[in-house]
Amino acid sequence: MNERERGGFLDPITRENVAVVLVDHQVGLLSGVRDIPVGELKHNVVALAKAAAALDIPLVTTTTAADSMWGPTAPELVEALPAGQEIIDRSSVNAWDDDRVREAIEATGRRKLIFAGVSLEVCAALPAYSALAAGHDAYVAVDASGTFSATKREAGLLRMQQAGVVLSDYSTLMVEALADNAAPEAGAVYAALDMPFAVLVGQISAAYRA
């Protein structure tokens, strides 16, 4: 299988070719997460959302059965989303199967899609498979996702690898999109990723050069 057939995964992620899809980071689902500390998971998905916003990367956010089963999006994430960001509530297990979610993703015009969700093996993985089938390059930020047991995590990771989904961590994906540490947005991105030492080192270096 050549690189074109694989979907161009060796092409770098850029702020112009990627969108971020956040699936079901809801209070009810988060309460069952066991493979990563919930506080750490919230920190990571909030950082992903903030960094994407700093780079003007489109965000699509969705919940499932928010009023009847799994509750609202975690308030920390709601606060981190860009002003006016719509959260699309749906009933389908696979977010891609909801016309509004799929159309919102396609409307971004981005070929590369970063997914994160709770649970990892369903809410992040299933739309990633569908995105692959639709011709996108699909990535999953594994540390901005969580699930309900170590077994489910391991099985989900294996299946995604077998399907051709690229697995990574949220900060690497966003730093790849940043691309240039001299970019005006670099400070905001590293601050969003909770890496203030990067900004501090830059300030010290600037002061030394002066």
Residues with active-site annotation: 123
- Cβ atoms of residues 125 and 165 within 8 Å: yes
Distance CA 177, CA 192 (A): 14
Distance CA 114, CA 174 (A): 10
Give the tokens for residue 71. 């509750």
- Cβ atoms of residues 63 and 91 within 8 Å: no
Pairing mode, if any, of strands 87-90 and 112-117? unpaired
Distance CA 132, CA 6 (A): 10
Give the tokens for residue 105. 């993703």
Within 10 angstroms of residue 206's Cβ, the number of other Cβ atoms is: 9
Phi, psi of 13 (to 5 degrees): -70, 135
How far, rounded to the nearest angstrom, does the alpha carbon of residue 26 sit from its chain's CA centroid? Answer: 15
